[in-house]
Structure 1
Amino acid sequence: MAFQKPSHTFTKIHLKALHTNNFKILFALSFTVFINTFSFAQDIPKKGKTINRSVKDSVISTTDSLLVPEVSEKSQDSTLTDSIAPKKELLENIVTYHADDYTTFNQKKQKLYLYNNAKIDYGDMNITSGSIVIDYTKNTVYAKGITDSIEGYTQKPVFTQGSNVVEPDSIIFNTESKKALIFNSKTEQGEGTVIAQITKKENDSVYFLKNAKYTTAEDLEDPEYYIKLRKAKIVPGKKIVTGLANLFIYDVPTPIGVPFAFFPQSDKQTSGVIIPSFGEQNDRGFFLQNGGYYFAINDYVDLAVIGDYYTNGSYGVRLESTYSKRYKFRGNLGFRYENLINSERGFPDYSRNTIYNLRWSHSQDSKANPNSRFSASVNLGSSTYYRSSVNQVNTGAFLNNSLSSSVSYSKTFQGEPQVNFSVTATHSQNTNTETINMTLPTFQGSVGRMYPFATKSGSKKGIIQNINLQYNVRGENRIQTTDSLFFKKEMFDDAKAGFQHSIPLSTNFKIFKYFSLSASTNFNEVWTFKTVNKSFDPIERKEVTETINGFDSFRTYNFSTSLGTTIYGMFNFEKEGKDPKIKAIRHVIRPSISYNINPSFDKYYDSYEVVSADGLTTSDVEFSRFDGGIFGAPNKNFSSSMGISVSNNIEAKVRDKDSTATEPKKIIILNNLNFSTSYNFAGDSLQWSPVRMSGGTQLFNNKMSVNFGATLDPYALDNNNRKINKFNIDNGGSFFRLTSANLTTSWSLSSKKGDKDKDKNIDENLRSGGRADDLFGVSQDFSNQQINNKKEEKEEPPSEHYNYKIPWSLRLAYAVNYSNSRRQNEISSHSLMFSGDLELSPKWSVGASSGYDLKNAGFTYTQLRFERDLLSWRMNFSWVPFSSRSSWNFFIGIKSSILKDLKYEKRRQPDIRL
C-alpha cells in the first residue's frame, strides 16, 4: 500500500455550506435543555413511607372489663409516683477519655483538659487529637493539634461520627445539639475529597460549607485541580449541592464554571444522565454524540441507552448492558443501530444507509454446574458496519473480513457409558462478499466408548479386550443467505437439514514389542429431507435439477489400519573431566504407515442421457440424488490408499548460565518437523500425492517463534503447465518440484519493566472479531468511554534513585509465501508487521502499529498513539495518518467516574463513502 493523497472530494465538502434544517438545530438544543432539566434523576430515590406501628387496628376487639382483675385501694401507694420530674443528667451518654501526658479537671470552670494523644468517646462520636477541652457548663468539646517547634502543627483532630470521618485543624462540638464548627477540614465524599475552611455540622446528615474545594486528586496538600465551592451543602453518602462553582487548575481559576452544581454521592450504583459530546462534522453538520441515560437496574444487571444526533438528520442508537452473578455467570450485551445520511438531499454526493450490529458475550462459571454449560459469543450485523460507523475507530474489525458467532449448550450424563449432547447455533459472515452461513441449530450427541470384551477390573490386553465402539449423531439445519435477505422469509427457502449417524469400531495392540498397530472400521448412515433429480432438457439444451422433498437415507462404511513406533536417539557430549556447553542432544522420530479402503457405493447413482440436436444420444451423465446434501453424497469410486508420515522432535541439554542450578537447561532445537505423503493403489495415474513438509521451533528463550512449510510434487508439467503422469526426474528435472512454500515468524521483545499487561482496548478488538494483539492497532470505541469505569490499579511507589532505563516493548511479525504450482516462480505475498510501546517517562508513553508490504513497496495500515498520565487526569491522542480511514482523536478528562463528564474531546472522523 502506497501513501495516499488527500481526496479532492473531501476538500469540496469542507467548503460546501450545509443547509441544515432549523428544526434539526432546535431539536439538538432541546435535548440539552432536557438533560439540564432532568439531571436531578441522579439523586438517590427516597425510601417509601413506613407503617406507623403506633396506630391501633380497629379490628382488634376491646378487652372485656370482667376479665381485668380489680386492684385493691390498699395496694395503691401515692408515694410511688413522684409528681416532680427528675433532673436531667449533665451528659446523656457515658464519656470515656484518655491522654498520654495528663488529664486535669478544673472544678471551678467545670472543664476537663486532655493533652497528647487525647481520645474521647461519647456515644457514636469519637475524637482523637493532641489537645481536647471538655466544657461541662456549655456542653462543648474543643479539639486542636499540638504545636511543636521542630515538627510544627501535629496531632490534628480526627472526628468520627458513625461512618463520617473528618480531619480538620480544629473542631468545636456541642454534645447537646450535636452541632459542630469545623475549621480547615478534609473529608472523603465518595470518590472525591472536600477541603473546607469552615464547616458547620447541622446534624448527623447535613453539613454546610464555606469556601470549600472538591477534588479527586491524591495529593490533598497541593491538588492539581479542584472545583471551588463558595457555599455548599453536604448530605454524607447521598449528595453535594453547591451554588456558584468553577474549576481551578493548580490554584489558577478557569472560566469553566456553573451557577449551581449537583454531585451525587453513593456507595451503590445509581441511575443518571450521560452528558453528550458536542461538535461538528463536515458532511453531517453539528452533532450531539454519546448522550443518553444510564439505568442501574439492580446489583446484577445495568443498561445504558445512548445515542447520537446530527443536524442533517443522521442519528444512532446504542444499548449496552452488563450482567454478572457471582459463581454463576457473567456477560455483556450490546446493540447498535445507525441511520447515516451523507451531505444533503439534492447534492450529487447525497447518500443514505442504515447499519446495525449485535454483540453478545456470555460465560458460565465452572463452579455453577459441572455437568452442563452454556456459552455465547455473538458478533453479527451489517457487513459494512465497521467501515461505515462514525462513532468508533475499530481497527481490528475494519481490517478483518469475517464476523462469526456461536451460542451453545452442552450437558453430560454421568455413568457407564457416559452420554453427552450439545446444541449449537453458529454464524459466519464474509463482509466482502456479504455471504452469510448459519446453522440453526446443530445437534451433537455421543455415547461414550464401550469395551464389550474387556474385564471389569485390571488393564486391557490383547486385540480382543481392546475392541471398543461408540455412537455419535450429528444433526444440522444449515442456511446460506446474504445481507439483503438476512432474517427474511426467503432466507429459509433453501435451508438444508439432515442427520449423520456413525458407529466407529476399533482396537489396538502391540506387535514385535515395539510397534503399535490399530485397526478400525466406521459405519455411517445419513438422513436427509431433500434430494434431487437431474434430467436433460432437449429444448433448452441444459441440465434441469428438480428438488424432491421427503425423507431419504444412505449408508456407507470404510476400513483403516495404521502401524507406528517411536525411535529415540541420544547424542551425549559429556566426558569425564570436561564440562561442555552442550551436554546432550535427543532426537525423537515417530514414523507411521496407514492403509485405508473406501468401497464404491455406485448403487446410489443414476444417469440421464444427453441428446443432441439431431436426436442422437451423445453421452450418459451420472449423478446421485444426494448431490448437494448437507453431508455430501456417498463415494462413487473405490479407493485403496497408503499413507506415510514421519515426525521429528529435536531437543538439547545445555549448561545453565545460572551457576546455582543443579540440572542442565533443556532447550528446543526443532519443536516439530513433519513429512507426509500417500499412494493410491486404485488410481490409474498420478498415484503419488505431493510430499508436504511442515515444522516449527522457538528461539531466544521462547521470545521468537518460527513456522515453515513446503509442498514438493514428484510429477512433471507439460508445455501447458499441466501436471502429467511422469516423474519430474524422468523429465530432466530434480527429484521433487517445489510448488509452494511459506515462512512465518513472530518476535516479542520487551524490557523487564516494559512488559506490561495488554491494553484494555485489546478487549474491544477481541469482541469485534479482531486480533488479540495490537499489530493492527487498537480499537477506540468512543461510546464505551462514557460507561466503562474500570478502576486503575495503583502504581508502585517510585524508587528514590534515578532509573535510567526506559521501559519498552516491541512486537514483530514477518510472513512470506512462495508459489510455483504452474511455473510462475513468484513471491505471492511478503509483509512485515510491527507494533511497539515506549515509556518515555513514568507519565509519558507513545505507541505505534504499522507494517510494510515488501512486495508492493508500501506501508500498510498505520496508527500512532500518545498518552500522558496527568495524575487525576488522562490525556491521549491517536492518529491514523494515511489510508482511506485517516483520522485523529484527542481526549483529555478526569479519571474519576463521578466527574468523567468534565472532559474535552476533539476528533476528525474518517471520510465515509457509502
Structure 2
Amino acid sequence: MGAKRAAGILMPRPGERTNLGFFIEDLGFYVPFGDNFDLKLSGDIYTKGSWATRAESTYKKRYKYNGRLAANVENRLTGIKGLTEGSNAFSKQSMFGVMWSHSQDPKANPYWLFNANVNFSSSKYYRESVRNQYINTGQVFTNNVNSSINLTKNFENAPLTAQLSMSHSQNYNTGDINIAFPRFNLTMSRIFPFAKKNMPKEGLIQNLGLTYSMQAGNEVNTNDKDIFTDKMWKDQMRMGANHKIGLQTGITLANYFPLTLSSDYNEVWGDNRLIKNYNSVNGKIEDTTLKGFNSYRTFNFNASVSTNIYGLYLNPNKDAKILGIQHVITPSIGYSYTPDFQSQSWGYYKAYQNQNQEEVWYNQYQNMLYGVSIPGLTNSLNFGISNNLEMKVKDVNDPKGFKKVKIFEYLRLSSSYNFSADEFKLSPISINGMTSLFDRKVNVQFSSTVNPYKIQRYINAEGNEVAQYIDELGLGNLRISNMTLGTGYTFDNSTFGGKRFDAKNYKKRGTVRDENFYYDSDNYAQFAIPWSLTANLSYNYSKGTERKGSSTGSIAMNGKISPTPYWAISANATYDFIKSEITYVRFGFERDLRSFTLSFNWTPMGTYKSYDFFIGIKASILQDLKYNDRSRLNY
C-alpha cells in the first residue's frame, strides 16, 4: 500500500544570475485531490523584473486512462532599461507553453479510443525561456513541434473507421502556425462487392476491390502575431472536404506475371475560389477570393506487371569456400494515365492578361483546403528492377556447416518515361540499396540519383559561366546528381567476445549497501561493468549542373559506462569530417547516493555551452528537497 499523499508548500531554490539578478525559483504548493488527481502550482521571481508561473497536474485511473497537463507563462526582462543597442540592450518577452498528454488503456474500450499529445508554445519558448532546463534535454534545438488530439471510433460489424481530430504544427524559425480544428475522417477498408462469400475470388470482376475515404475540416495558416485575432478567424480560415474512391483488381497472366489494374477518383469541395486580374494602373496582379461552395474532380488509371527471375549456382566442389550463389531479379513495368485537367475544356483553370497582353493560366481552386493541385496530362511508362544477391559460404562453426552472406539485401533501379512531356521525357534514374557487413551486424544504406541528360555550358552577357541541362540523352552524359550513405553500429560488452554478466553463476549476493554485488567462491565481489558506444555515420553528396559538387558528412558518437553500480558516465560528440571540426560535445555524470541522486551535465563548447548540477532526495514525499544549479548560455 503506497504512502498517502498530502498537501504542502514546495521549498524554493534561491540563487543569482548576471542577466536576471537574484532569484527564488520553484516557490509554490502541492495539493492532491483524491487518489486520481493532483495539482502543483509554482513560480519564479527575479530581482531584475523577470517572472514565471507554472501549473502542473497529473491524473490516472487504473485500467482506464492516464495523463499530464502543464501550462507555463513567463515574462523575461534582460538588459538595461533605456538602452536600445549593444549587448546590454533592453529586451522584454512574454512567452507561454502548454503541454498535455493523455493515453487511454486499449483494453478500456475496443471501439472508442481517445488520445492526446499537445505541445503548443511561443516560438522562442524553448530557446529563450527564463530558466534553461531545455538545454540539457536537447529541446533547445527544437525547430518544429506538433500536437494532436484524436477520438477514434471502430465499428464492430462494418469495415469503417471514423476519427474526429484536432492538430497543430509550428515552426519556431519562421513563426508559422498551422491549426486544424476540427477534422473528420471516415475510412472504409477494401471490400469486394462482386466476390462470392466464403469462396475463392476468380477473374477481374470478383477480384475488384473498392475503398473509400473522406476528409472534412477547418484549417488555419497563421503566425505568432495573428493567432486568435479577427484576421485569423475571418481571412485565414478555410474549410472543405475531400472524397476519394479507389478501385483495384488483378489477375495472373501465364501463371508467372501478376497484373494489377487500378483507378482513383478524387472529388474536392471548398469554400473559396481565386480570381486573378492585372491592374494596369499600378502594374500589379491582384488576387480576389470569392467565398461560396466550389468543387472539382479528377481521376486516373494505372496498370503494372512484375515477376521474379531466379538464378542459382551450386558449386560442385563441396570443400570450396563458396558453396553457392543465389540471385533474385524482380523486374516491373507499369503504365499511368491521367487526363489533362489543366486544359481549358475542364474549366478548372482560368486566364488573365498580363502587361504584355499575354494569357496567363492559373488554378482557380489552388487556395481551397484540399485543392493543392490539379494534375496535368500524365501518359508515362514506369519501369524498374530490384535485385537480391546472397552467397552460401562454408562455416565449420555453424551446426549446418554453412552460413548465408547477403551481398545485397536489395538493390533497386527505377525510372519513368513520360510520352506526353514536351522535353526531358526520361526521368532521372533512382538507385537505392542496402547491404550488411560483419555477419549482419552493420547495415549500410545508400541511395543515388543519376541524371542522363547532357549539360550545356556557355558564357552569358555578364561574362559568367552558365550551365543547364539540354534534352539530349547518352551514356556519356550519365552524372550523379545526388548520393547519400548511412550506417551505424553499437559496441558493448559482448562485441569483442566478452561474456555478459550472469548472476546465476554466483551463489552469494551482497546485502544492505552491497546488494548489487555478487561474490565468487573466494569472496571477491563481482560486477559487470556495462558499457556501450554507438557510432553513426552519415554522408551526402550533391552536384547539379555545377562543375564541383558539395558534400556534408558527420560521425555522431554516443557512449555510456557504469564503472560501479552507482556511477554512470556518458558522453556525446558529433564530428564533421568534411569541415574537420567538432560541432557538439556533451558530458554527463550520474551518481546514486542511495537516499539521494546526483547528476551533472556539461556542454563545454558550441552555441549552447552550459552546465547543469542537480542533487535531490529520491523519496517521493521529499522530492521537493533539492538543489539545482543551471548556467545561462553565456556562463
TM-score normalised by the shorter chain: which range applies?
A: 0.7 to 0.9
Query: Do the aligned partners of residues 489 and 700 (structure 1) sit closer, same or farther apart at CA in structure 2, a change above 3 Å counting?
Result: farther
- What is the match of residue 68 of structure 2? 332
Richer in strand (by share): 2
The verdict on how the C-alpha distance between 1:909 and 1:327 changes in structure 2, with shifts beyond 3 A counting, is same
**Cα separation, partners in 2 of 1:838 and 1:754, compared to 1, 3 Å:** farther
Inter-CA distance 333–657: structure 2 relative to 1 (3 Å threshold): farther
Compared with structure 1, are the counterparts of its residues 467 and 624 closer, same or farther at alpha carbon in structure 2 (3 Å cutoff)?
A: same
1:257-310, CA deviations, whole angstroms, 9 ceiling, x for partnerless residues? xxxxxxxxx822222222111111112221111222122212222222122111
Aligned ranges 1:76-91 → 2 under 5 Å: none
CA distance in 1, matches of 2:372, 2:611: 54
The equivalences for 1:362-377 within 5 A come to 362-377=102-117
1:218-367 mapped onto 2 (5 Å cutoff)? 267-346=3-82, 348-367=88-107
The residue type paired with residue 469 of structure 2 is K
Matched, 1:743 2:481: no
User: Is the 2:527–2:564 contact (alpha carbons within 8 Å) kept by the matching residues of 1?
Assistant: no
Question: Given the alignment of the two structures, is residue 826 of structure 1 paired with residue 521 of structure 2, yes or no?
Answer: no
For the structure 1 residues 875 and 446, does the alpha-carbon distance in structure 2 shift closer, same or farther, using more than 3 Å as the test? Answer: closer
Judge conservation of contact 2:333–2:383 (CA < 8 Å) in 1. yes
Instruction: Pick closer, same or farther for the CA change 1:637–1:662 going to 2, 3 Å.
Output: closer
Change in Cα spacing, 1:837 to 1:712, as seen in structure 2 (3 Å) is: same
In the TM superposition, residue 902 of structure 1 has moved relative to its aligned partner by 4.5
Structure 1 residue runs of 5 or longer lacking an equivalent are 1-189, 191-265, 757-793
Which stretch shifts more, 624-633 or 558-567?
624-633
Distance 1:574 1:630 in 2: 66
Aligned to 1:724: 470
TM-score by length of 2: 0.88
1:514 alignment partner in structure 2: 256
Work out whether 1:610 is the aligned partner of 2:353: yes
The change in CA–CA distance for 1:271 and 1:657 in structure 2 (over 3 A counts) is farther
Answer yes or no: is the 8 Å Cα contact 2:443–2:487 preserved in 1.
yes
* Contact in 2 for aligned 1:652/1:667 (Cα 8 Å): yes
Q: How many Å apart are 1:413 and its aligned residue?
A: 1.3
Q: Quote the Cα distance in structure 2 between the aligned partners of 1:903 and 1:636.
A: 62
Which residue of structure 2 aligns with residue 82 of structure 1?
A: none
Q: How many Å separate the matches in 2 of 1:507 and 1:798?
A: 64
SS in structure 2 of the partner of residue 385 of structure 1: coil
Q: Which deviates more from structure 2 when the two are superposed, residues 676-685 or residues 563-572?
A: 563-572
**In 1, Cα distance between the equivalents of 2:372 and 2:117?**
32
1:848 maps onto 2:584 in alignment: no
CA contact (8 A) 1:308 1:317 kept: yes
Q: In the alignment, residue 484 of structure 2 is paired with which amino acid?
A: N
In the other structure, the counterpart of 1:567 is: 309
Moved more, 802-811 or 648-657: 648-657
CA distance in 1, matches of 2:248, 2:351: 40
Structure 2 Cα separation of the partners of residues 909 and 545 of structure 1: 48
One-letter amino acid of the counterpart of residue 426, structure 1: S
Q: Do the aligned partners of 2:354 and 2:360 also contact (CA within 8 Å) in 1?
A: no
Determine the C-alpha separation between the residues in 2 that align with 1:804 and 1:466.
62
Compute the displacement of 1:803 (Å).
4.8
User: Partner of 1:864: helix, strand, or coil?
Assistant: strand
Q: How far did residue 897 of structure 1 move?
A: 2.9
CA change 1:384–1:698 in 2 (3 A) is: farther
CA distance in 1, matches of 2:500, 2:65: 31
1:357-506 aligned at under 5 Å gives the runs 357-389=97-129, 390-392=131-133, 393-415=135-157, 417-492=158-233, 493-506=235-248
Distance 1:302 1:504, change over 3 A: same
Taking the aligned partners of 1:274 and 1:657, their CA distance within structure 2 comes to 67
What is the letter of the counterpart of residue 848 of structure 1? A
Residues 523-538 of structure 1 aligned to structure 2 (within 5 Å): 523-538=265-280
More off after superposition, 368-377 vs 600-609: 600-609
3-state SS of 1:338 partner: strand
| Inter-CA distance 890–636: structure 2 relative to 1 (3 Å threshold) | closer
Q: 2:284 aligns with which of 511, 533, 542?
A: 542
Instruction: Note if 1:685 corresponds to 2:423.
Output: yes
The 3-state SS of whatever aligns with 2:282 is: coil
Alignment partner of 2:558 out of 832, 835, 848: 835
Q: CA 1:811/1:454 → structure 2, altered by over 3 Å: closer, same or farther?
A: same
For 1:713, the equivalent position in structure 2 comes to 451
Given residue 418 of structure 1, which amino acid in structure 2 is its aligned partner?
A: P
Give me the whole-angstrom Cα distance separating, in 2, the residues matched to 1:294 and 1:654. 66
How far off its partner does 1:743 sit? Answer: 0.9
CA deviations over 1:754-808 (Å, ceiling 9, x no partner):
999xxxxxxxxxxxxxxxxxxxxxxxxxxxxxxxxxxxxx964333445586431
Q: Is the 8 A contact 1:604 1:624 kept in 2?
A: no
CA contact (8 A) 1:754 1:807 kept: no
Give the direction of change, closer, same or farther, for the CA distance of 1:634–1:279 in structure 2 (3 Å limit). Answer: closer
Superposed displacement of residue 702, structure 1:
5.0
**Residues 441 and 476, structure 1, Cα contact 8 Å, conserved in 2:** yes
1:854 CA displacement: 2.4
Give the letter aligned to residue 99 of structure 2: R
Contact 1:609–1:620 (8 Å) recurs in 2 = yes
- Contact kept in structure 1, 2:396 and 2:402, CA below 8 Å: no
Are the structure 2 counterparts of residues 589 and 375 from structure 1 closer, same or farther at C-alpha, using a change threshold of 3 Å?
Answer: farther
Paired residue type of 2:452? P
Q: Is the 8 A contact 1:862 1:880 kept in 2?
A: yes
CA distance in 2, matches of 1:535, 1:902: 68
**Secondary structure at the residue paired with 1:332?**
strand
What secondary structure, in the 3-state scheme, does the structure 2 residue paired with 1:387 have? coil
Match of 2:371 in 1: 632
- Distance of 2:538 and 2:574 partners within structure 1: 11
The correspondence of residues 17-166 of structure 1 with structure 2, limited to 5 A, is none
Query: Equivalent residue of 1:486, what SS?
Result: coil
1:619 is aligned to 2:619: no
* Counterpart for residue 601 of structure 2: 878
Q: Secondary structure at the match of 2:232?
A: helix
Per-residue Cα deviation, 1:348-376 (whole angstroms, up to 9, x for no partner): 43211111111222222121111222211
On the 8 A contact 2:27/2:43 being kept in 1, the answer is: yes
Give me the TM-score of the superposition, normalised by structure 1: 0.62
Secondary structure at 1:549 match in 2: strand
Offset of 1:607 from its aligned partner?
4.3
Cα distance in 1 for partners of 2:63, 2:325 equals: 48
- Alpha-carbon shift at residue 738 of structure 1 (Å): 0.7
Q: In the aligned structure 2, how far is the partner of 1:444 from the partner of 1:805? A: 53
- CA displacement 1:41-74 (0-9 Å, x = unmatched): xxxxxxxxxxxxxxxxxxxxxxxxxxxxxxxxxx
Aligned amino acid, residue 225 of structure 2: S
Matched ranges for 1:203-218 at <5 A: none
Give secondary structure in 2 for the equivalent of 1:485: coil
Separation in structure 2 between the aligned mates of residue 406 and residue 851 of structure 1, nearest angstrom: 32
Which stretch has the larger CA shift, 583-592 or 320-329? 583-592
CA-to-aligned-CA distance 1:457-489 (integer Å, 9 cap, x gap): 221111121112222211232211112222333
Which of 387, 397, 418 is the aligned partner of 1:648? Answer: 387
2:519 is aligned with 1:799: yes
1:607 and 1:620 in contact (8 A); partners too: no
Distance 1:877 1:606 in 2: 62
Matched, 1:588 2:328: yes
Contact 2:218–2:237 under 8 Å retained in 1: yes
Q: Note the C-alpha offset of 1:668.
A: 4.2
SS in 2 for 1:689: coil
Please state how far the C-alpha of 1:630 moved relative to its aligned partner.
2.5
Q: Equivalents in 1 of 2:436, 2:56: separation in Å? A: 42
Identity across the alignment (%): 35
* 1:454 counterpart SS class: coil
